[in-house]
């Protein structure tokens, strides 16, 4: 692995210390209690019933960050299709548009053709390495703050809380059974959920057609069937995944938690319960008494607030676990409690095992954001980004692809000269028609002829390339060598296409062969 450059003495030293510390306290990483080891009611069956989770509302800095990111992400998703971008009359004026019918992708000033799909490949590689970098720096940043599953689930929980009340109320109502009010609340909650889900599906299809036009068509039932079908599909998936599947998606369906577990290292900062400070858990009263006696007690008062706010229903104090999406809400919950009882905050915080051990040994904390893997990841992102940017800025808006005839590869004409046929596809990526001249050089006395182009300049065919499209033409090249030896069995040939107005030139190479 890239980041596994743990060759330094420092790191080896550190590992030795880790294992020493482990011997002293074998359950270091797992401050589980025996009472927690009891199986739940159906500890035996092979299929576990889902446990409904009722996350409690919480306020604090991480909750604020999550609200802001949710607003930004959803704002972009829902409103981006309405942003306009003037590209002249020839092209659509939607800033971001995936025009499947015409095989074009528009993103503000960029227009991509299907054959330029490799830009997306580059973008996906950059995105993947960015995820790796996030993981190396701050753990599951993506899962906790940015993943659509997290964002929409968070939104759906907010709706649930608004309609049914907070954790305790919801749990009470779930147990109480049916009443008119309960029914009305459920209808209201599911209606709002469905509306959000429907809007989510609706926004999705707007990326594939002119948004204002499509909306007009949608409300007058004039839109293509496929638009309604996709709105239906995305309404259903949003409603199901954010309303019902929720943390099950992260725990059982998503591969990313597993991949991240393999990617992480001991220096990455993760949402961590600092058990060096927290253990032994002691009730508030008892802790005060013990402290008065000058004894060392843990800061954790076992209030279970971190568990109550957790959207995946886990106990962060059990150490790093697959189910933890690292949203940071337990940090807020714990900070609120610590503030109230007058103890320092961040008993739960972004931390790692290394620093827990160092603190236990009375050493200062060490943070290493600059490590081999973070440097390599950043370098990769910068390099790939630079290559893509360079390719994007220097890409040609006039191009040609040459395909040599395969059968016959060459033809001898009645006067002894030799002809090769080519199929050339000309690409005009500009938004206007243009006239180009086609030239050839390479074989002796080469003459070029474009089938179907009547040229006033016989030796230099002129063709019209329609705007924003490709033109495929058959091109014949005749060579009349002085003698047979004058022409090699295979001669390199170059085709030049020159925009008469702009002077833009594109060149392609091929070969000219003898029969």
Partner 1 sequence: MADHAHHAEIDKVTGTATTGHEWDGIKELNTPLPRWWIWTFYACIIWSIGYFIVYPAWPLMDGYTKGLFGYSSRAELAVDLANLDKVRGDKMAALATAPLAEIEKDPALLALARAKGKVVFGDNCAACHGSGGAGAKGYPNLNDDDWLWGGTLDQIEQTIKFGARSGHDDAHQGNMPAFGKDGLLTKDQIVIMANYVRSLSGLSTRSGVDLAAGKQLFADNCSSCHGDEAKGNPELGAPNLTDRIWLYGSDEATLIETLTNGRGGVMPAWTGRLDPATIKAMAVYVHSLGGGK
Under the binding rule (CB under 8 A), the answer on residue 48 touching partner 1 is yes
CA dihedral 119, 125, 128, 133 (to 10 degrees): -110
The CA-based angle 280-285-289, given to 5 degrees, is: 80
Under the binding rule (CB under 8 A), the answer on residue 503 touching partner 1 is no
Under the binding rule (CB under 8 A), the answer on residue 421 touching partner 1 is yes
Under the binding rule (CB under 8 A), the answer on residue 469 touching partner 1 is no
Strand partners, 436: 463, 499
From CA 473, how far away is CA 320, in angstroms rounded? Answer: 63
- Residue 98's SS3 state is strand
Under the binding rule (CB under 8 A), the answer on residue 408 touching partner 1 is yes
Q: Kindly state the tokens that stand for 395.
A: 């890409």
Q: Compute how many other C-beta atoms are within 10 angstroms of the C-beta atom of residue 48.
A: 10
Under the binding rule (CB under 8 A), the answer on residue 474 touching partner 1 is yes
Q: Among residue numbers 227 through 256, which ones bind partner 1 (CB under 8 A)?
A: 245, 248, 251-252
Residue number with CB closer to partner 1 (67 or 432): 432
- Residue 153's SS3 state is helix
Find the shortest distance in angstroms from Cβ 464 to partner 1.
Answer: 8
Stretch that binds partner 1, among 431-439, 469-477, 479-487, 495-503 (CB under 8 A): 469-477
Residue number with CB closer to partner 1 (379 or 408): 408
DSSP state for residue 187 in the 8-state scheme: H
Under the binding rule (CB under 8 A), the answer on residue 295 touching partner 1 is no
Find the shortest distance in angstroms from Cβ 233 to partner 1.
Answer: 16
Under the binding rule (CB under 8 A), the answer on residue 482 touching partner 1 is no
What is the residue-wise DSSP string for 55-74?
A: PPP--SHHHHHHHHHHHHHH
Under the binding rule (CB under 8 A), the answer on residue 447 touching partner 1 is no
Choice from 9, 19, 47, 101 touching partner 1 (CB under 8 A): 47
Under the binding rule (CB under 8 A), the answer on residue 174 touching partner 1 is no
Residue 270: enclosing H or E segment and its boundaries? strand 270-273
Stretch that binds partner 1, among 92-100, 155-163, 268-276, 470-478 (CB under 8 A): 470-478
Per-residue binder mask for partner 1 (CB under 8 A), 12-31, x = binder: ------------------x-
Choice from 44, 177, 364, 458 touching partner 1 (CB under 8 A): 44
Find the shortest distance in angstroms from Cβ 345 to partner 1.
Answer: 29
Stretch that binds partner 1, among 130-138, 279-287, 306-314, 472-480 (CB under 8 A): 472-480
Q: At what angle do helices 61-79 and 329-340 cross, to 10 degrees?
A: 150
Residue number with CB closer to partner 1 (129 or 241): 241
Under the binding rule (CB under 8 A), the answer on residue 43 touching partner 1 is yes
Q: Kindly state the tokens that stand for 409.
A: 């590869």
Residue number with CB closer to partner 1 (183 or 515): 515
From CA 238, how far away is CA 156, in angstroms rounded? Answer: 10
Choice from 5, 16, 32, 191 touching partner 1 (CB under 8 A): 32
Find the shortest distance in angstroms from Cβ 62 to partner 1.
Answer: 28
Residue number with CB closer to partner 1 (389 or 451): 451
Q: Kindly state the tokens that stand for 101.
A: 């019918």
From CA 144, how far away is CA 247, in angstroms rounded? Answer: 11
Strand partners, 509: 494
Under the binding rule (CB under 8 A), the answer on residue 219 touching partner 1 is no
From CA 285, how far away is CA 18, in angstroms rounded? Answer: 34
Cis peptide leading into 280, omega within 30 of 0? yes
Choice from 100, 451, 500, 502 touching partner 1 (CB under 8 A): 451
Find the shortest distance in angstroms from Cβ 40 to partner 1.
Answer: 9
Cβ atoms of 326 and 270 closer than 8 Å: yes
Find the shortest distance in angstroms from Cβ 494 to partner 1.
Answer: 20
What is the total count of residues that contact partner 1 (CB under 8 A)? 40
Under the binding rule (CB under 8 A), the answer on residue 176 touching partner 1 is no
Q: Compute how many other C-beta atoms are within 10 angstroms of the C-beta atom of residue 31.
A: 20
Residue number with CB closer to partner 1 (417 or 491): 417
Find the shortest distance in angstroms from Cβ 48 to partner 1.
Answer: 4
- Kindly give, in sequence order, each residue whose CB lies less than 8 Å from that of residue 373, ignoring residues fewer than 6 positions away: 1, 2, 3, 4, 5, 132, 136, 265
Choice from 4, 176, 415, 485 touching partner 1 (CB under 8 A): 415
Stretch that binds partner 1, among 38-46, 225-233, 276-284, 352-360 (CB under 8 A): 38-46
Residue number with CB closer to partner 1 (24 or 285): 24
Choice from 1, 38, 101, 456 touching partner 1 (CB under 8 A): 38
- Kindly give, in sequence order, each residue whose CB lies less than 8 Å from that of residue 169, ignoring residues fewer than 6 positions away: none
Q: How far apart, in Å, are the Cα atoms of 193 and each of 152, 199, 301?
A: 10, 10, 37
Cβ atoms of 171 and 54 closer than 8 Å: yes
Stretch that binds partner 1, among 36-44, 90-98, 128-136, 329-337 (CB under 8 A): 36-44
Residue number with CB closer to partner 1 (47 or 221): 47
What is the residue-wise DSSP string for 329-372?
A: HHHHHHHHHHHHTT--S-SEEEE-HHHHHHHHTTPPP----S-H
Cβ atoms of 499 and 398 closer than 8 Å: yes
Residues in touch with partner 1 (CB under 8 A): 30, 32, 36-39, 41-50, 245, 248, 251-252, 405-408, 411-416, 419, 421, 451-452, 454, 464, 471-472, 474, 476
């Amino acid at each position: 692995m890239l980041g596994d450059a743990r060759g330094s003495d420092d790191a080896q030293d550190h590992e030795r210390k880790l294992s020493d510390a482990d011997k002293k306290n074998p359950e270091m990483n797992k401050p589980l209690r025996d009472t927690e080891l009891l199986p739940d009611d159906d500890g035996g069956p092979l299929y576990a019933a889902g446990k409904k989770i009722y996350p409690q509302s919480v306020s604090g800095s991480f909750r604020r960050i999550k609200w802001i990111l949710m607003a930004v992400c959803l704002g972009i998703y829902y409103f981006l299709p309405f942003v306009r971008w003037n590209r002249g009359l020839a092209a659509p004026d939607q800033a971001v548009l995936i025009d499947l019918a015409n095989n074009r992708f528009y993103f503000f000033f960029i227009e991509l053709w299907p054959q330029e799909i490799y830009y997306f490949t580059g973008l996906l590689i950059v995105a993947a390495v960015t995820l790796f970098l996030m993981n190396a720096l701050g753990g599951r940043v993506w899962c906790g703050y940015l993943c659509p599953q997290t964002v929409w689930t968070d939104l759906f929980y907010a709706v649930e809380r608004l309609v049914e009340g907070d954790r305790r109320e919801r749990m009470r109502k779930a147990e109480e059974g049916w009443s008119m009010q309960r029914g009305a609340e459920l209808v209201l909650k599911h209606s709002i959920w469905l509306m959000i889900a429907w809007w989510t599906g609706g926004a999705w299809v707007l990326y594939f057609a002119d948004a204002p036009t499509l909306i007009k068509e949608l409300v007058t039932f004039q839109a293509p069937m496929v638009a309604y079908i996709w709105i239906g599909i995305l309404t259903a998936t949003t409603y199901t995944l954010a309303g019902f599947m929720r943390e099950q998606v992260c725990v059982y369906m998503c591969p990313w938690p597993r991949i991240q577990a393999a990617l992480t290292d001991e220096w990455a900062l993760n949402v961590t319960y600092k058990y060096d400070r927290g253990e032994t858990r002691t009730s508030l009263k008892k802790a005060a008494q013990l402290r008065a006696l000058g004894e060392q007690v843990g800061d954790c008062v076992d209030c279970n607030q971190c568990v109550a706010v957790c959207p995946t229903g886990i106990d962060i104090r059990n150490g790093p676990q697959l189910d933890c999406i690292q949203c940071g809400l337990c940090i807020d919950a714990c900070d609120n409690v610590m503030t109230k009882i007058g103890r320092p905050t961040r008993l739960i915080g972004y931390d790692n095992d290394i620093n827990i051990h160092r603190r236990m040994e009375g050493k200062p904390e060490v943070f290493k954001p600059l490590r081999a893997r973070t440097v390599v990841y950043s370098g990769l992102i910068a390099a790939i980004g630079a290559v893509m940017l360079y390719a994007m800025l220097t890409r040609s808006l006039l191009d040609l692809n040459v395909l040599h005839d395969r059968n016959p590869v060459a033809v001898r004409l009645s006067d002894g000269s030799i002809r090769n046929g080519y199929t050339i596809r000309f690409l005009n990526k500009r938004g206007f028609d243009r006239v180009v001249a086609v030239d050839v050089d390479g074989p002796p006395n080469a003459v070029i002829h474009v089938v179907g182009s009547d040229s006033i300049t016989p030796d230099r065919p002129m063709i019209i390339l329609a705007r924003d499209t490709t033109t495929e033409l058959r091109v014949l090249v005749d060579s009349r060598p002085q003698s047979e030896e004058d022409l090699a069995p295979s001669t390199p040939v170059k085709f030049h296409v020159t925009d008469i107005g702009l002077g833009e030139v594109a060149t392609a190479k091929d070969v000219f062969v003898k029969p």
